Amino acid sequence: MAKGTYVQPELAGGFRDYLPEDMIPRQKMLDTIKTVFERFGFVPLDTPGLEKEEVLTGGDPDFKKQIFRAGLEGGKDALALRFDLTVPLARVIAANPELKMPFKRYQFGRCWRGERQQAGRFREFMQLDADVVGSSSIAADAEVITLMYETMRALGFKDQDFVIKISDRRVLNTLADVAGFDPEKMPSVLRTLDKLDKIGWDGVEKEMTLAASLSKEQFKKVKAFIERGDAAAFAPLGTLLDIPKKSYAFDLSVARGLGYYTGVVFETVLTKLPSIGSIFSGGRYDGLVSRFSNRAIPAVGTSVGVDRLFVAMQKLGMIKKEKRTAQVCVLNFELTAERQCIGAATALRRAGIATNLYLGGEKTLKGQLAYAVIEEYPVVVIIGTDEAKRGVAQVKDMVKRTQTEVKQTDIVSAVQKLL
Amino acid sequence: MAKGTYVQPELAGGFRDYLPEDMIPRQKMLDTIKTVFERFGFVPLDTPGLEKEEVLTGGDPDFKKQIFRAGLEGGKDALALRFDLTVPLARVIAANPELKMPFKRYQFGRCWRGERQQAGRFREFMQLDADVVGSSSIAADAEVITLMYETMRALGFKDQDFVIKISDRRVLNTLADVAGFDPEKMPSVLRTLDKLDKIGWDGVEKEMTLAASLSKEQFKKVKAFIERGDAAAFAPLGTLLDIPKKSYAFDLSVARGLGYYTGVVFETVLTKLPSIGSIFSGGRYDGLVSRFSNRAIPAVGTSVGVDRLFVAMQKLGMIKKEKRTAQVCVLNFELTAERQCIGAATALRRAGIATNLYLGGEKTLKGQLAYAVIEEYPVVVIIGTDEAKRGVAQVKDMVKRTQTEVKQTDIVSAVQKLL
């Protein structure tokens, strides 16, 4: 690059930064979810973002448009960026036969997809998954659904703020028989069914009769089947769900388009924000490692779309911007006292109190105090030359506007009283 | 892919998984570091793994062999994976002029480099950085060094287990003058100096006289200069370091090869494991955003090489494999009691106790108890048909081998007593 010319400091389309004001609450959100997952006994796994392309796609040409390929100049492996955390889980299970079943793992990490660029769709996004691998028990299905409920509650949602919609592929798979259409049309019928929330039954009718070329009669049977539900099929799972009735619903219109589901499937929608779609979804898929071996390994799991959830919680006013994590500011305006100011900051930090030492350009007490007011610090510690000589500090309660002189050895306890 | 053939479930060379037994302690390590960084008032930032190649390299051809390029089929942007967290920080600073200075941010995330494949070198690795942007104050230099000390202590290292070696580019930059060699040879001289720990003064002499073609006389002057040190230059910083003397040393042999440093530079080496090199290093670089604009923005920061640190701590016996986070196992061996077993697990989890509900294939009490013994659960909760009928549970202390019958409403308090 020629001297004196500059690079534009910009991101590619479909990518975003999280500045601290958003990253502080986002990180709290992630920590909350992880804490719930760990309480349920899920253990963390980590896998690379970059894997062999063949491992990620299994050679399926449908992925080719969606996948980011990556490589070194002259590199010999065909590599790509992962697009979900399920395929890497399957690889880990296939490659480590010594892992004890059931294997309950959670994982969070970035994934990449060539999404069309539209509102709320990112080409790099964070997923947080939990899966029970190696158990075909219905109690495992119930466990994952309960995990979703407890996670939503821990995030601050009330029982009436969300609904976990539960369906079952085994029931849906009888649809072709019941409605008398060619089973080959099933994928197209299920994909259309997934749009019911967005386009209503009129829209579904149009798509099913046109795109899937169902007859009017067949469509009517499909609609009746979905609306009737299948209480008997869901009874065993229902008895194991230890969560309030208003927070879940058995709803056959949830089909989850992805081909690999084989049993129960579920989605979580927000009652006040249905348009944002499912923010927490998954299901049972009993062919987890079929790409890698002939071992039959059942699994059930769920995935949080972290970025979409964060946008939803912002829209619902559940996320506040936060500009700092420190609660105390130690001013630093006279060089002769600087060592003692640093000592005060160190003592507070060792006591577990998040503390900022003033490092800015203001050189006067007045200027630094004005800064602390603007930044809304609840507590300020002041050590000038005079205080330094006498081994004391002023501890200022910025809310009540009171100030106490304490010995420097007592700064921590004086600050603790104010927090 | 043809039916009946399988994909090999393997990673590309230079990439690794963290299975739960390693990921549990690794995550604790990361959390410890983040906690210290937050106590120092650093706020989190997040940027994408994938950026425009020009932003990452600034067009510098030296990066071309090291960088992973990435893209969609037919994508129009030239993208690449980030190789550090400093360039993305510079982009964020340049793109967001409204950010208040000093801006103290930390960031952790994966980076990718085309490292030659050798022991302990990975092509995907995690970095954890902290930087003070917008302050040229010597107190900011001291703050970053103190942060490194406090982080090492919080990780479990003792004062004598590590040394933070501190040097200064401004002092080193006088070397050409002092020793009387052509300033053009400085980069080569500094690179050689960085190898002193590994190859000793004999090796350094060989390289400097051969590769950098210094005369014997010039080399002697370099050696004398480095060994003498420059106490006066470091005195101001020394008075601000509130950390034990044995944990740091002013040492001009630390040069930090990277071109962008402009002031103090530092490295942390482990006294019992010097061969592993620096696990925590950084310095002052006052041309942070020079690629993007003509604004002069000073910065000082440090970076933990998380994967290398983890390997070091494993070698030092400071990291133990952990197979689970759950402390309690609720058995589940009779269908008639299953609902109550799930209820017990839910109650424990809501009380913040990490709990596993048994979801495996063993169907008998005996078999499930044997599993709990092998997995070394300290506490087991048992509800069979008989207990279910009577509304009670057996709470088993697996260490003392005692068992207490409690009402199901008292399970949480009974378990809490044992943990």
Quote the radius of gyration of chain B (alpha carbons, Å).
Answer: 28
What pLDDT band is residue A120 in, cutting at 50, 70 and 90?
low
Q: Is the dihedral of CA A178, A182, A186, A188 positive or negative?
A: negative
Between B44 and B191, name the one with better pLDDT: B44
Q: Which residues of B fall within a CB distance of 8 Å from A357? A: 41, 139, 143
Provide the shortest C-alpha distance from residue A178 to chain B (in Å): 31
Provide the shortest C-alpha distance from residue A26 to chain B (in Å): 10
What is the C-alpha to C-alpha distance for residues A284 and A258, in angstroms, rounded to an integer? 11
Tell me the pairing of strands B248-250 and B264-270: unpaired
Which residues make Cβ contacts (< 8 Å) with residue A322, sequence separation at least 6? A20, A21, A24, A25
Provide the shortest C-alpha distance from residue A265 to chain B (in Å): 19
Q: Which residues of A fall within a CB distance of 8 Å from B7? A: 54-55, 58-59, 291-292
Backbone φ and ψ for B401, nearest 5 degrees, come out as: 55, 45
> Which of B71, B135, B326 faces A359 most closely, judged by CB atoms?
B135
Whether B73 sits inside 8 A of A59 (CB atoms) is no
Residue B276: Cβ within 10 Å count: 17
Between A5 and A356, name the one with better pLDDT: A356
The pLDDT value given to residue A59: 81
The pLDDT value given to residue A5: 85
The pLDDT value given to residue B247: 96
Residue of chain A minimizing CA distance to B340: A240
What is the C-alpha to C-alpha distance for residues A293 and A288, in angstroms, rounded to an integer? 10
What is the C-alpha to C-alpha distance for residues A64 and A66, in angstroms, rounded to an integer? 6
Most confidently predicted of A181-195, A251-265, A386-400, B56-70: A386-400
Provide the shortest C-alpha distance from residue A321 to chain B (in Å): 13
Q: Which residues of B fall within a CB distance of 8 Å from A140? A: 359
Q: Which residues of B fall within a CB distance of 8 Å from A323? A: 43
- How many Cβ pairs closer than 8 A exist between chain A and B? 304
Whether B339 sits inside 8 A of A91 (CB atoms) is no
Q: Which residues of B fall within a CB distance of 8 Å from A361? A: 101, 135
> Which of B6, B13, B124 faces A293 most closely, judged by CB atoms?
B6
What is the C-alpha to C-alpha distance for residues B376 and B356, in angstroms, rounded to an integer? 13
ipTM, two decimals, is: 0.93
What pLDDT band is residue B4 in, cutting at 50, 70 and 90?
low
Task: Express as a percent the part of chain B with pLDDT over 70.
Answer: 98
Q: Is the dihedral of CA B80, B86, B89, B94 positive or negative?
A: negative
Whether A124 sits inside 8 A of B49 (CB atoms) is yes
Residue B243: Cβ within 10 Å count: 18
Instruction: Express each pLDDT in A32-50 by its tens digit.
Output: 999 999 999 999 999 999 9
Residue of chain A minimizing CA distance to B2: A59
Instruction: Express each pLDDT in B270-327 by its tens digit.
Output: 999 988 889 999 999 988 889 999 988 999 999 999 999 999 999 999 999 998 999 9
Best to test chain B binding among A1, A29, A40 (most B CBs inside 10 Å): A40
Residue of chain A minimizing CA distance to B54: A7
Interval B383-398 mean pLDDT: 97
The pLDDT value given to residue A1: 44
Q: Which residues of B fall within a CB distance of 8 Å from A106? A: none
Give yes or no for residue B2 having a pLDDT over 60.
Answer: no
Most confidently predicted of A212-216, A252-256, B130-134, B305-309: B130-134
Which DSSP state fits B159? G
Structure tokens at A339: 């060592």
Whether A242 sits inside 8 A of B72 (CB atoms) is no
Provide the shortest C-alpha distance from residue B221 to chain A (in Å): 35
Whether B114 sits inside 8 A of A72 (CB atoms) is yes
- DSSP string for residues in B55-118: HHHTT-GGGTTTPPEEE-TT--S-EEE-S-SHHHHHHHHHH-TTSPSSEEEEEEEEEE------
Whether B343 sits inside 8 A of A72 (CB atoms) is no
Give yes or no for residue B3 having a pLDDT over 60.
Answer: no
- Amino acid, res. A98: E
Residue A250: Cβ within 10 Å count: 20
Interval B193-217 mean pLDDT: 91
The pLDDT value given to residue B1: 45
Best to test chain B binding among A5, A16, A46, A128 (most B CBs inside 10 Å): A46
Whether B41 sits inside 8 A of A343 (CB atoms) is no
The pLDDT value given to residue A119: 60
What is the C-alpha to C-alpha distance for residues B265 and B141, in angstroms, rounded to an integer? 9
What is the C-alpha to C-alpha distance for residues B191 and B294, in angstroms, rounded to an integer? 28
Whether A23 sits inside 8 A of B39 (CB atoms) is no
Average pLDDT, chain A: 93
Structure tokens at B63: 């990066």
Provide the shortest C-alpha distance from residue A198 to chain B (in Å): 29
Q: Which helix (H) or strand (E) holds B304?
A: strand B299-305
Instruction: Express each pLDDT in A159-196 by its tens digit.
Output: 999 999 999 999 999 999 999 999 999 888 998 998 89
Whether A59 sits inside 8 A of B291 (CB atoms) is no
Q: Which residues of A fall within a CB distance of 8 Å from B54? A: 7
Whether B123 sits inside 8 A of A10 (CB atoms) is no
Which DSSP state fits B398? T
> Which of A40, A43, A94 faces B9 most closely, judged by CB atoms?
A94
Give yes or no for residue A83 having a pLDDT over 70.
Answer: yes
Residues A186-211: b if buried by 16+ CB within 10 A, e if exposed: bebbbbbbbebeeeeeeebbebbeee
Give yes or no for residue A321 having a pLDDT over 60.
Answer: yes
Scanning the structure block, which residue is given the tokens 């040393």? B249
Q: Which pTM value belongs to this model?
A: 0.94
Task: Express as a percent the part of chain A with pLDDT over 70.
Answer: 98
Q: Which helix (H) or strand (E) holds B369?
A: helix B365-374
Tell me the pairing of strands B69-71 and B79-81: antiparallel
Whether B349 sits inside 8 A of A40 (CB atoms) is yes
List the one residue out of A94, A82, A88, A85 whose CA is nearest residue A134. A94
Whether B240 sits inside 8 A of A323 (CB atoms) is no
